[in-house]
Every structure is written in structure tokens, then in C-alpha cells.
Structure 1
Amino acid sequence: MPNQERGEPPGPHQPPGPLPDGSIPLYGSQPLPGTPGGEPAPPPVGWGPDFGGKRQIQHGGPQPKRRRTGLVVSLFLLGGVAVAVVIAAVALRDDTFTTLAPVPGVGLVGPTASQTPQDDAPGTPDDGGASQDSMKTVTSDPLYATGALTTVGCREPQVALSTRQAVKAYYANLVGCLNRTWAGKVKAAGDTYTAPRVLFWSGKVQAPCAGGSSGAFYCDASQTLYLKFDDDIKLWTRAADPSNRAFARMYVTYSAAREFGHHLQRLTGISAAVRQLQYDAPDRETQLELSRRVELQASCLGTAFMGANKVPYGITGLDLTIYRRYVEAQTGDENSRGGPRDHGARASHQYWTARGFNTLNSANCNTFTASASKVS
């Protein structure tokens, strides 16, 4: 896929890729996001490349809940079952909703907007049997034995991410590709495949799982991917040269793919098993480590999809360089200033995303059998 901006001819100044010394060319007068001097900072979009700001929601980690003993328990923000992809655009400022066509071949079944889905409650502690079963699930789930992903021929839409409608179209295509990629694997693992719902939003959003968010997230209670289009537009329009545009597209693709990874964890029972393990965890540090294992696995599963489709989607050349150096290498808990260590350090994130992208295999995304040093 060409690296130049969609819909515009390449300018004479546009760099074809990394400079001879291996460095990334500047765009405009600013370095790429995550580099020293890269101000003005892009909008805060969670724990990605060094955008600053604090997360207001844990994408897949535990939410505190008090027990009689005072131990914190997770209301884990993963999963969600809906047998349709309903892609809705939400303009929260005027409370209008627009529904796009569902992905072909997927019917509309499950909770409607007027219904309130309920989270799966964590199990009640017993003699340890529940935790043993949960540990077996997270370490030996049949999804790990389904083999490497193969391409579904997913192609990136040739659109500029400068308007709400363009970003919606980009995500609609991407989520359809994710469904086609993962449906067979989930079924091969012996689970029922259901597509998530998708909600577009801007400004602020109220979800059943939390009071607010600074970026894309997956909500267990609403069984929905929440994708924030206004930040995507800001990233795209920050600078007009191909390096920035490549970053914007790769970050949008990665964000949706990793949040979809949380949906896979829900469908396979991994998220429910982790909730039980967190419920029985002896301390907060153990709970946070479990959260990091969940989040790093979602990143790995998301990038397995990207790696499987990198050729037809066009994740090559400058796009691949930008993705490797700024999405893979600059994402981590270090960017959530003052936040908990619940998603994984930059080094851990780079390790797991590279495993997914390079091997295409969920077996290599089994963070639950990894050493603690790999999920720091």
C-alpha cells in the first residue's frame, strides 16, 4: 500500500522511509510522537505512545470491589457477547446516533440498547477448586492450540482520517476483517463465536463499566468496543506529511485490533477465569500482575491479526517502520503518569506485540505461562 496520504499525490519532499542512518524523518518541524521535543502533544489516548495524560478506565483490568475481608476484587472489563456487529456513530454533544450496516453474514441478536447486560460475577472462594480450574483455563485454553492465523485478504480503506464519516468507514472495514480472521479460531477452540458491537464516540462517554475514558476501550458490561473517533482525527491532522499519517493509521489499526483481543478473551472464558483468580489473589500486586498478563495478551492477539494481514493491508515500508518504532516500542505504563502498573511496561509490550506480529499464533500469546519478568 502506498505510504503517501490517502487521496493526495505525493509531494516532492515526502520521504520514502527511514533515512540512511536509520532515523525517522521529521514531519513538519516536529519529531514523531514519543520522541524528545515532540510537542505539542497529541491528545491523551490512554497508554499508547507517549501522549501524556492518565487513563480514566482500565481497558481490561480489574475494577475494585470490596469483600467482607476488605480484599479488592475485580469487576473485570473484558468480554461481552453479541452476535452482531452494530456499528454506531455517537455524537455525544447532540445525542444523535447513526447505525451503519452490519458486517455481512452476521445477524442481529442479543441485548438491545434498552437492555442492561450484566457482568459475570466472580465466583465465591471455596477450597481452591475454582482457582485451579481458572488457572487451567488461562494457561491451557484450546485457543492456544488452533494454529497460526492466515490472511483474510484485508485491505486498508484509501481514506483520509480527517472526518467522522471517514474514521467510521475505516473502523467498519477493520472490524469486519477482525471478525473474519478470528471466527474460525474461536470455533476451533470449541467456543461459540459472536461478534462484538461497536460504538463510536467523541468528547466523553458513559459506559456501564466505568464513568469515563480517554481512549478506545472494550466494555464487558455493554459487550461493546468503544472507539473514539475525535482523537483519531486529531492524530491525523497533527501534521500533513506521510510519517505522521502512517503513525495515525497504524495506531488506529492497532488500537481496534487489541481491544478486539479482549473480546476474544471473553469468548474463550479467559477473562472470566482471570476474574476468579483476581478475586482469590492474596494482594494488590498479584492482581496487577494478572491485569498485565491480560492486557499484554490482548496486545499480542491484536498484532497477530496485523501480522497475518500485513501484506494486503499494506503494513510495509514506512508504515511498518513507524509501527515498529512508535506503536510497538513506545507503548507502556510509563506513559500513564501516576497510574497503576496494570497494562505492562514498554519493554514487555514490545516483546509481546512483536511475538504476535511475527508468529501470527495465539500459542505465542500465552502470557499466563510466562515468567514475571516478561509481564513487568
Structure 2
Amino acid sequence: MGVGAVLGTVFGSIAALFVLIVIGAAMIGGAKESRTTTPIAIPTLSPYDEPTRRPDRTSSERPSTDSSREPSTEPSTEPSTGPSPTRTQDEEPDREQEVDPPAQVTVNRSLKNNTVYRAGALPRLRCRAGNVSIFSHSQLKSLILRTGRCMDQAWGQILRKQGIPFSPPNYAIVAGRGRGACGDYPAAGSMVPYYCPRNNTIYASTTAMAKGNGNARGYGQIISWHGGIISMMAHEYGHHVQNITGLMDSWWARTLDSTSQSGKLALNRRMELQATCFGGMWMRSVAGTYPVNSTNRNQLFFFYSQVGDYPGFPRDHGSRANNNRWFRQGWLKSQAYQCNTWMAASSTTS
């Protein structure tokens, strides 16, 4: 074999080895990326049929001091801990907080790569609703508190596994109206419940939710089955999840940094639609025992095509089509990362 042939063989071998090293490095890099990059939620669902008649103002309304469903030009209360809410005789007293010891892992509290997205699906728990009338304060209040304990079990289980300290929210449920740490409930001309991050409390008026308030239709005038109201309470519980996982703090920081009103509203929509997706996850998790049959499931899907932003009001909660899209996203895909609205296309959070 000549010198040229030998050199050719040597250099060919070196070149082949270099190619193998490059390919190997790329494979290792890809493997690392797959372990550290949060999967992106890509809603592929078509919007539910739009209603042919514009209903009265429903759940697109929210007090300016919370992250529930009522119009607001911009958030006005920074999420923080604070004193317990003032209770009336009709309200449920504070429940004891279960605070975990400090986690042994580093918890990511950002919007796009939050640790909650690794939590997976909610466990299928036995959570029976029974035969409840939403027009009875005592029955509806009891159902809200009972299903709230189911939400505690479900969310607490998957959050603790990720090293996220968990504590349940408080509830303040009245028949008429009251004043909470984040404002009146219901607000004037509103019927929606709200979550107050200042004291981790969900506030609601059973009469307003069922029958409406002023010109605002009640949820019971859209869907008389109690699952509609409970799904909204699951939405408010979703805000509690956002609060204890750091999503709410990160959202607020981004909101303060935003220099435009449209930017603030866009952030608020992603926040609200994520809570709706979390609510869809929970309703699916109890579908077998609540129960939620196919007829009631379709009622829920229709219900979420009726709530959202309407012309003439601030675009702070997302269109009706996108509210429906993200509720069904949580229901059908049932994985926490599938509710990552912060990495979703803006067209799905408009």
C-alpha cells in the first residue's frame, strides 16, 4: 500500500470519528434538552359553535382586585399574604392550613417552565355530587365545600410530589352578599365568585351565581345542572394553584413591567385561560364518580362557549371561543403542561 493510500485511510478514519463525535454530542444534547424543556401546550381543538344570541353579561366580569371573571382595566392588588377575611354568620369559617415542610428540591416558579407542568394528570378520586339544587343556598354551599375538599386531595397529591408546598384555600360562601379582602362579593352588577390571593380565599354568593345580579345573568340561567357552577369554582381553585406555585407572582411581576394596557390585558387573559384549563382538568378527573355523563359534558362545553369577553368590555378573560378551547384542553388532554398558556400561540389566548 502506498503512502498516499495510508494517509487517505488515516484521514478517512479521523473524519469518520469526528462525524461520530458530532452525532453523539447532538444526541446527548437532544436528550438533555428533552429532560429540561417544558413541553408546549398546542391547542388543536376547533372553537365550539358561537352562540347565536348575545347573553347578558356573565363571567367576563371580575372585581379589579382579584383574578376571577369580571372586567378590569388592569390588576390593582399585588398577590401577597394578608389577614384572614372578615366572616359573617353565613360564611364558612377558616379551615386549618396544612403547610408542608420546606421542599428538598428547587421549585421553578416562572410562567413558562414552572414546576407545576411536571405534575402530570390529576388522580381519579371518588367525589360524588349527589342530587343538589343550585337554587338552595345550603345545598349549593355544602356541595362547594365538599368538592373543594376533593380539589384539595387531587391538587395536593400531585403538587407535593413535585416538591411544591401545598395548603388548601379558605372559603367564604354567602347566600346574598358580603365584603372580602379583595372587595365586595358579588361586585355591583356581577354574579361571579373570586379568588383573593391576599388571604388565599375563594369568595362566592350562591344566589348571584344561580340567579344573577342586576343585569348579569346567573350561571344557573345558562346551565341549571350544578356542574356548571362547580366548574367555575374549579376555575377559582385554579387561581389558588397559580398562587401557591408562583405563577401568580410571576404574572404580577410581568404585569408591572408591561408598559401598555394591551400588554397587561394579554397577560391577564393567559392567566385566566390557564385557570379555566385547570378547572377542565379537575372536572375530567371526577367525571366517573361526580358523575359527569356525556350529556352533562356537552352541557359544560356549551357553557364555556357562553362565557368570556364581549364587545364593549375589557378583553381581560379571553374570547368565548378560547374559553371553550382551554376548558376542553384541560378536559381532553388532562396534563398540567397542556395548560401552559404562557407558551401557547397568541391566537389561542385572544
The normalised TM-score by structure 1 is 0.66
Q: CA deviation at 1:100?
A: 6.5
Question: Which residue matches 1:276?
Answer: 253
Q: Could you tell me which amino acid in structure 2 is paired with residue 252 of structure 1?
A: I
Distance 1:261 1:297, change over 3 A: same
Aligned 8 A contact 1:61 1:292 in 2: no
Identity of aligned residues (%): 22
Question: Which residue matches 1:355?
Answer: 329
Question: Which residue matches 2:39?
Answer: none
1: distance between equivalents of 2:136 and 2:74? 41
Aligned 8 A contact 2:174 2:204 in 1: yes
Matches within 5 A, 1:1-376: 36=53, 45-47=58-60, 54-57=61-64, 59-60=66-67, 74-76=75-77, 95-97=88-90, 99=92, 102=95, 107-108=96-97, 137-211=110-184, 213=187, 214=190, 215-234=192-211, 247-325=224-302, 327-334=303-310, 338-376=312-350
Q: CA deviation at 1:56?
A: 4.2
Q: CA deviation at 1:157?
A: 2.6
Aligned 8 A contact 2:210 2:221 in 1: no
Q: CA deviation at 1:152?
A: 1.0
Between structure 1 and structure 2, the one with the greater Rg is: 2
- Give aligned pairs, total: 281
2: distance between equivalents of 1:77 and 1:226? 18
Task: Give 1 or 2: higher helix fraction.
Answer: 2
Q: CA deviation at 1:204?
A: 3.4
Aligned 8 A contact 1:78 1:262 in 2: no
2: distance between equivalents of 1:73 and 1:100? 31
Aligned 8 A contact 1:79 1:220 in 2: yes
Instruction: Output one character per residue of 1:250-278: Cα deviation in whole Å (capped at 9) or x when no partner.
Output: 22111100000000000000100111111
* Unaligned 5+ runs, structure 1: 1-33, 48-53, 64-71, 111-134, 236-242
* Unaligned 5+ runs, structure 2: 1-50, 100-107, 213-219
Distance 1:315 1:59, change over 3 A: farther
Q: Could you tell me which amino acid in structure 2 is paired with residue 349 of structure 1?
A: N
Aligned 8 A contact 1:163 1:233 in 2: no
RMSD (CA atoms): 3.5
The normalised TM-score by structure 2 is 0.70
Aligned 8 A contact 1:79 1:267 in 2: no
